[in-house]
Structure 1
Amino acid sequence: MKQNTDSLIFDLDGTLWDATATVARAWDEARKQVDFDIQEITQEDIRSVAGMQHDLIYDKFFPDLTDAQKKELIKVSGRVEMQHLKKDGGNLFTGMKEALEYLHGNYKLFIVSNCQDGYIEAFYEFHHLSHLFEDHECSGRTGNPKGENLKVIIKRNDLQNPVYVGDTKGDYEASLVAGIPFVYAAYGFGKTPDYDIYLKSPADLKRLF
């Protein structure tokens, strides 16, 4: 696969970084800024929905809210989350920065995530990594699921032999939609028995590519 690959497309949460502590703090603050009651969202809760399309997370966590309440919560939590991410960011997985810098010399790099619009830019800004990536896309901007956004990135950048690097079963399924190989980041948040390449750690990227 290394001989044919021309690009790597990365998932973000659970693959490149762990921002769950920051996001959980943001949720706690957002709870206090709406005039209806919602349950506490923990760091483990955030991990459990990693890879889920951003707007669908609210349906999972808050099924009893009205559409108007969900709309308000999306607006408030999104704003607060961006404020926290720009200030506190998240932690890159050990060895990830070195792996990205190595890969950048040989492949085109991209990000496709189911996050809200602006989240990937916050990641770039906090870790000063925008120069390593050619392009990105997210469901928060397009309204489309991850598999469709993978196809958008592939077409927009004329990629011939990309692979998708992610950590969940949903990431694997997105790679099937896009018709590309899946590289499983087993060090991340999710679990999947289906993959083409297995990464025990980010350092494996330097060995396998």
Structure 2
Amino acid sequence: MTNSLINKFDSIIFDLDGTLWDSTGNVAIAWQAAKEEVQYIRQDITAEDVKGITGLTYTIIFERLFPYLNDSQRAEFKALASKKELATLEELGGDLFPGIEETLQYLSNKYKLFLVSNCQNGYAETFFKHSKLQHYFLGYQCYGTKGQPKYLNIIDVVNDFNLTAPVYIGDTQADYEAATKAGVPFIYAAYGFGKVAEGHIATVNSLAELQQIL
């Protein structure tokens, strides 16, 4: 484990799904319930399906999962799935990754912490409600807030909070590409859902490892 990243940054921006928690099982339950209310979804929806599209925007997710739907059907199902997702997570939440609070507490004493996710409106708030961890974060931005790509949300956070040396932590190639496009170094959370082959400045196999490298 290298110490080369210590004191290199003034702030840390986290991805949410696959980095701080895993809600895929309960999201799959919600989307499957939505599927039962319409006649045009051909396949059941599993947690593995949800993991496979984690980190993408809501628009791209439903294009990827249901390419055979017409625009009207996709819009209807997206709205229904969104509503059921928030209701289900409001009740059940997700599974926090081990060591999350200890790690955030440690990091918040040294860095400004933020959250940038491709989630819909209300999702980050549900995470904060269930995790009771919002007090560690100075701000957050989601796809649902402005409907813009993740890299622009990262840039907004950097500019809005006058960050001079941020680093982004995420678990997917899309996270890496967004951070790179925003001009922010990337740490790969290898315990999450995706694969990032190259380009990251460090890899961690658990949240707790961040305390060692940062």
Q: 1:36: Cα distance to partner?
A: 3.0
The residue correspondences of 1:99-118 to structure 2 (distance < 5 A) are 99-118=103-122
Distance 1:142 1:38 in 2: 31
> Paired residue for 1:197?
202
Question: Which residue, 186, 203, 208 being the options, matches 1:182?
Answer: 186
1:85 — aligned with what? 89
Alignment of 1:67 with 2:67, yes or no, is no
Q: 2:212 maps to what in 1?
A: 207
TM-score (norm 2): 0.94
Contact in 1 for aligned 2:41/2:66 (Cα 8 Å): no
AA partner of residue 30 (structure 1): A
Instruction: Report 1:1-209 matches (<5 A).
Output: 1-194=5-198, 195-209=200-214
Point out where structure 2 has 5 or more consecutive residues left out of the alignment: none
Letter in 1 for 2:201: D
C-alpha root-mean-square deviation of aligned residues, in Å?
1.1
| Identity among equivalent pairs (%) | 44
Instruction: Provide, for residues 130-168 of structure 1, a one-character-per-residue CA deviation record: whole Å limited to 9, x for no partner.
Output: 111111111122111111111011111111100000001
2: distance between equivalents of 1:56 and 1:38?
18
How far off its partner does 1:35 sit?
4.4
Give the SS at the match of 1:172: helix
CA displacement, residues 19-65 of structure 1 (integer Å, 9 cap, x when unaligned): 01110100111112234334211100111111111211000111111
Structure 1 residue 114: Cα displacement: 0.9
Q: Equivalents in 1 of 2:145, 2:186: separation in Å?
A: 23
**Structure-2 change in CA distance of 1:4 and 1:37 (3 Å):** closer
| TM-score, normalised via structure 1 length | 0.96
Alpha-carbon displacement from aligned partner over 1:85-116 (angstroms, at most 9, x marks no partner): 11111111111121011111111111111111
Q: Distance in 2 between matches of 1:147 and 1:38?
A: 33
Give, as a single letter, the amino acid of the residue that structure 1 aligns with 2:210: L
Q: C-alpha displacement at 1:170, in angstroms?
A: 0.9
